[in-house]
Amino acid sequence: MKLGMLTACLPGWDLDRIATFAAAEGYERLEVAVWPGTGGRDFEAAHLPVATFTDEDASATRDLLDRTGLEISALAYYENNLHQDPARREEVRAHLRHAIDAAQVLGVPYVGTFIGRDNTKSVRENMAEGDRVLPELVDYAGERGVRLIIENCVMEGWHPDGYPGNIAYSPELWEWVTGLGFGLNWDPSHLTWIGIDPVETILPFAEHIVHAQAKDVELFPDRRDRYGFFGKVDKGDDPWEMGWWRFRVPGRGVVDWPHVVDRLYEAGFDGTLSVEHEDPLWSGEDVKVLEGLRIAHRTLRPLIAVDERP
């Protein structure tokens, strides 16, 4: 197991600066954000220009990795592959193909994305649509030696009423997701707030969990008693404001990280545990984001065995 970090928390930094920081702090791998950089959510970072990726870009990226001693564990483009707007869906699919092509050139094994959801349809109807349109993407990646991996984020902010906007949020749905050929980019924070014990999901899906994200969550049950499970009705201008929970960096929430890492080892996991920093207490300024990443590293580094083999 290697300790990595998702670069999306530093959208204003270039990859060289991020890699220099990550290596100095003891991170071993980068999960590199490759959104188009056209706006939207503030974590839609563009740290590799995959849509226009040239031989020069590839060479510069390899030189950076050689210089810092880092590896890229995955490229990250988490968008809605079942979007109800056909034009938007095709934009997402086209950029995902660009990410796959760049991963092939760089020898990166995984590209992370979401299943997503058509909010005008039920989960069952979305599954039927996924059966129709998603295998093409899985095949496109596989033909290039790349595997698509799906994060189990609920993406409640994509739905106007806080319902799941990404239909990969439960082990029941993972059976369908993995049956289509996707791997899992497993994240315990999302499981925790929807009432699923993350530790108990690891062994049943051990062969499919090929990458993992390290994000924590803080719960406020007294506020849930007011808002209910689906969160605030009046979210103001923030569709992600649920009111009764918030993301935290590892070690500052309720996830039992020693137990999680131990069970991942039991499952034979030898991939990357990648810190995904979305903690609002350690955001807003670069100095705070960096300290959040240091807190996460201090929490997780002692739990991960050091490979001293030559």
Q: Are 274 and 73 in contact (CB under 8 A)?
A: yes
- Number of domains the chain contains: 1
Q: Are 28 and 71 in contact (CB under 8 A)?
A: yes
Report yes or no on 113 lying in a domain.
yes
Taking residue 170's Cβ as centre, other Cβ atoms within 10 Å add up to 17
Q: Give the structural domain span for 112.
A: 2-303
Q: What's residue 38's pLDDT?
A: 55
Q: What's residue 40's pLDDT?
A: 47
| pLDDT, averaged in runs of 10, over the chain (310 residues) | 97 96 98 81 80 97 98 98 97 98 98 97 98 98 98 94 95 98 98 98 98 98 94 90 96 98 98 97 96 98 78
Report yes or no on 137 lying in a domain.
yes
Strands 183-186 and 147-151: parallel
Report yes or no on 308 lying in a domain.
no
In degrees rounded to 5, what are phi and psi of residue 255? -65, 135
Q: How far apart are CA 118 and CA 166, in angstroms?
A: 9
Q: What's residue 308's pLDDT?
A: 55
The separation between CA 98 and the C-alpha centre of its own chain, rounded to angstroms, equals: 18
Q: What's residue 305's pLDDT?
A: 87
Q: What's residue 207's pLDDT?
A: 98
Residue in this structure with the two tokens 């938007």, named with its chain if needed: 88
Q: What's residue 310's pLDDT?
A: 53
Q: What's residue 13's pLDDT?
A: 95
Report yes or no on 309 lying in a domain.
no
Q: Are 182 and 144 in contact (CB under 8 A)?
A: no
In sequence order, the 6+-apart residues with CB closer than 8 A to the CB of 119 are 84, 158, 159, 160, 165
Report yes or no on 9 lying in a domain.
yes
Report yes or no on 55 lying in a domain.
yes
In total, the chain counts a number of residues equal to 310
Q: Which SS3 state, helix, strand or coil, does residue 182 take?
A: coil
Please report, for the domain that includes residue 265, its CATH number: 3.20.20.150
Q: Are 109 and 143 in contact (CB under 8 A)?
A: no
Report yes or no on 112 lying in a domain.
yes
Q: Are 158 and 83 in contact (CB under 8 A)?
A: no
